[in-house]
């Protein structure tokens, strides 16, 4: 933040995940997976914009998967999923 010119009092918080214990599995898959976890309230998390961006990404990334986890994620944005068919 300081390098970008933002003045303030910053504290570095170390990674809370033990990366010696938890590492990504090696895979031969080229699948790109995006995970979004939130309360799915659009006014707070701008999920509708995320979904529009995902729609654009699918045009250039063929093996793309979006996982949404949150309250009513399957019904609140059903308008998107109807248009997101492969």
8-66: pLDDT as tens digits: 888 888 878 888 888 878 878 888 888 999 888 888 888 888 888 888 888 888 888 88
Kindly report the pTM of this predicted structure.
0.59
Residue 85 pLDDT > 60, yes or no? Answer: no
Both ends of the chain: CA-CA distance in Å?
40
The token pair that represents 44 in the structure block? 């707070």
Query: Which of 12 and 73 is assigned the larger pLDDT?
Result: 12
Query: Which of 16 and 74 is assigned the larger pLDDT?
Result: 16
Task: Give the Å distances, CA to CA, from 12 to 2, 8, 15, 42.
Answer: 12, 13, 9, 29
Alpha helices in the chain (DSSP H): 42-45, 47-60, 73-76, 78-83
Q: For residue 70, with 0-12 CB atoms within 10 Å meaning exposed, 13-18 middle and 19 or more buried, which class applies?
A: middle
């Amino acid at each position: 933040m300081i390098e970008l010119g933002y003045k303030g009092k910053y504290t570095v918080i170390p990674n809370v995940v033990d990366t010696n214990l938890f590492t990504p599995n090696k895979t031969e898959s080229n699948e790109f997976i995006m995970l979004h976890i939130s309360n799915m309230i659009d006014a707070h998390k701008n999920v509708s914009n995320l979904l529009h961006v995902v729609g654009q990404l699918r045009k250039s990334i063929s093996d793309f998967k979006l996982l949404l986890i949150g309250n009513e994620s399957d019904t609140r944005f059903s308008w998107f999923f109807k248009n997101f068919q492969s």
